[in-house]
A and B are shown apart, each in its own frame.
Chain A
């Protein structure tokens, strides 16, 4: 792992003999928590039935931040996300090479159930269980055998975090299937938050929602900043710009660029990123490949 910026800075100022304690505070650096990578993939490669989908992906997932994954359709965003909590294990034709680390531990060596308890996931299409709203939220809690006494608290807190509490607080015992699609999706977020995972994966969570539901959903993702680490796949660049702090751009199974969202949008290093972020079409890589 690379040394954090703050540490590097501290070391440098040490060498310079400056009064160390005061300087970071004066520069406002202390307010920022030390950025650490909760999760990290190292040259991850993935094949479906012998066809390579991920071709050496290395991305860090920074603690407490929203990382957005963008890229054209079919480039492997969903696949990358699903490999992070080993949902890819469910596909029998899938083979993985490379490393995935969670807090420095090798995910491949972990018990998959234990891994999924720490890395939750919200799917592209709302998939509530055919149960009451309350039972949906408590599903993971019950599955993980957490303490009984605080069930009501957990339900309220998670529904609040998913910005849906006000809409459903009077009908917690109704079937979740009676809700609208947007509400269902927020229930799915609530049920993921209810087990307080270290990392929350979201696969185009707003893909099937209308603008108003999308706004609500974005609101709930923003509310998770700081407290949760979020990795969200999205098709909508404007959404990525609004909700994310870091941005990963994938093209055909390669990471083209990774960095702070703001910086990538304003001044991308790669020409392909510039193409994609400005128009959604990538010409430069294809031209390069055609040339070579």
Chain B
């Protein structure tokens, strides 16, 4: 293209546009248009820095030192780009001007704001960062979006892509919040982590060295039984919940009717009941049911027993058996729901193919329907597992310190109980004292457990999905 035609094109563009910015880069090949677009790299870069700064300010609780310079810098960068465009094409974007105005006002306002805000209705002192950092985040994102729009010029997707900063910002914020929490857990958790802690069980019976007339105990901290306990509870709860859950799901999907509706409704209602209520109800029921603690079989199975070194069996508050049963009750509906959804997603063609080949219900279910629903069922199991390892609300009623070991009829103990009891009591003073330094370590272990489960099930899900569903060739 010749130089003349380029300038003509640019002129044409500038004359024909009233709205301004959106159309000045119509001639994508022209150099003027490209320089106009490139000049927006400056505000884009500044706005990205502004977003990063805004996030950093969110975390700090000190009065910010950078708000006024940041707002000014953003305004200047945008102004420079806008002026450049005006010189080249004689078009000024109104939204850019509005944005510059807002930035200028914000810069001025943050200059005038006192460092600390107090009085008013607030019964506390907050730093001005509480106001300036969200403002900086929002305005930076606006500048970012505006510059992106201009940079992309008149490509068809520009309008959509310019929205990305607005979509990504909340995601960033959530990630930031998670990052903060995890950072805390990981740092504190790693601090207390040691092989000894993982392989030893908490033992309150170790006697301190200087034995006087009053025996002094110096409990040994350890998380082994809590780790094993979490895993055992997970395994037992899932195996109790899987069969009824899958069975109910199959029934609801394959035999719709009045009974299925009743089941579906009652499962939904079960889901809505707080775990706390279930735990409390079960606790009081069991107290009334079992007579003399430790004597009869029911009591032993339900409350759990622990053998002392002298062969005496002592009652616990609740056994793994009992608690995994309760947890199963709570998580089975999730598995049922996911199974039902999986079965409903089986293509009608496959169902009919199976039926038309003379397969009975059971055979079709085994060979076609359940494999197809497999990934969904796995998701259900994963959600159930997550709920199991986070079933503190039930655990609180029944758990102990796990000092006598882990097994189906032992007293239940888990990692989340360790987190709770080591900090807020519940396992007796000895436990709290001995374990207090390690409560974030227990949290870290729980996170690792959850992460491991998620990754494993994702891998399994992908394999199952590819094997059982493939992709029906569309023709």
Contact = CB atoms under 8 A, between A and B. Distances in A.
Contacts of B350: 127, 129
A65 to B, nearest CB: 21
B357 A140 contact: yes
Contact of B357 (A120, A180, A208): A120
B360 A127 contact: no
A117 B358 contact: yes
B356 to A, nearest CB: 4
B183 interface: no
B367 A139 contact: yes
Nearest to B372: A130
Given A90-B351, A129-B353, A144 B475 contact: no
Nearest to A183: B473
Contact of B358 (A90, A144, A181, A208): A144
A41 interface: no
B471 interface: yes
B357 to A, nearest CB: 4
B352 interface: yes
A140 B360 CA distance: 10
A121 B356 contact: yes
A113 B349 CA distance: 17
A179 B472 CA distance: 10
A139 B471 contact: no
A130 B467 contact: yes
B355 interface: yes
Contacts of A116: 355-358
A130 B355 contact: no
B359 A175 contact: no
Nearest to B349: A127
Contacts of A127: 347, 349-350, 352-353, 472
Contacts of A90: 351-352, 355
Contacts of A125: 349, 475
B469 interface: yes
A181 B475 contact: yes
A119 to B, nearest CB: 9
B359 A129 contact: no
A143 interface: yes
B349 A139 contact: no
B228 interface: no
A181 B353 contact: no
Contacts of A130: 371-372, 467-470, 472
Interface in B446-473: 467-473
B473 A181 contact: yes
A126 B360 contact: no
Nearest to A113: B360
| Chain B interface size, under 10 / 10 to 19 / 20 to 34 / 35 or more | 20 to 34
A175 B473 contact: no
Contacts of B360: 113, 143
A124 to B, nearest CB: 9
A126 B473 contact: yes
Contacts of B368: 129
Contact of A143 (B351, B363, B469): B363
A143 B359 contact: yes
Interface stretch (A69-77, A187-195, A258-266): A187-195
A47 interface: no
A188 B470 contact: no
Given A127-B353, A139-B367, A177 B358 contact: no
A125 B347 CA distance: 12
Given A130-B468, A177-B472, A177-B473, A139 B359 contact: yes
A84 to B, nearest CB: 11
B352 to A, nearest CB: 6
A142 B358 CA distance: 10
B471 A177 contact: yes
Given A143-B363, A177-B472, A123 B353 contact: yes
B354 interface: yes
Given A130-B468, A177-B470, A123 B357 contact: no
A184 B473 CA distance: 9
Interface in B202-229: none
Interface string A9-28: 00000000000000000000
Nearest to A117: B358
B373 to A, nearest CB: 13
A264 B462 CA distance: 55
Contacts of B349: 123, 125, 127
B468 A208 contact: no
A85 interface: yes
Contacts of A139: 354, 357, 359, 367
A113 B475 contact: no
B352 A87 contact: yes
Contacts of B469: 130
A85 B363 CA distance: 19
A171 to B, nearest CB: 15
A116 B355 CA distance: 8
B475 A126 contact: yes
Interface centre among B353, B359, B470, by most chain A C-beta atoms within 10 angstroms, is B353
Contacts of B470: 130, 175, 177
B359 A140 contact: yes
A18 B355 CA distance: 54
A256 to B, nearest CB: 28
B369 to A, nearest CB: 11
B196 to A, nearest CB: 50
Interface string B336-354: 0000000000010111111
Interface in B316-349: 347, 349
Nearest to B356: A121
A121 B357 CA distance: 7
Nearest to B469: A130
A191 B357 contact: yes
Contacts of B351: 90
Given A127-B349, A175-B470, A87 B355 contact: yes
A143 B470 CA distance: 22
Contacts of B353: 123, 127-129, 188
Contacts of B371: 130
Contacts of A181: 473, 475
A175 to B, nearest CB: 6
Contacts of A180: 473, 475
B355 A195 contact: no
Nearest to A192: B357
A208 B475 contact: yes
A87 to B, nearest CB: 6
24 contacts: A87-B355, A87-B356, A113-B360, A116-B358, A120-B356, A123-B353, A126-B475, A127-B347, A127-B472, A128-B353, A130-B469, A130-B470, A130-B472, A139-B357, A140-B359, A143-B354, A143-B357, A143-B358, A143-B363, A177-B470, A188-B353, A192-B357, A195-B358, A208-B475
The 7 closest A-B pairs by CB, nearest first: A117-B358, A181-B475, A140-B357, A143-B359, A127-B349, A130-B470, A177-B470
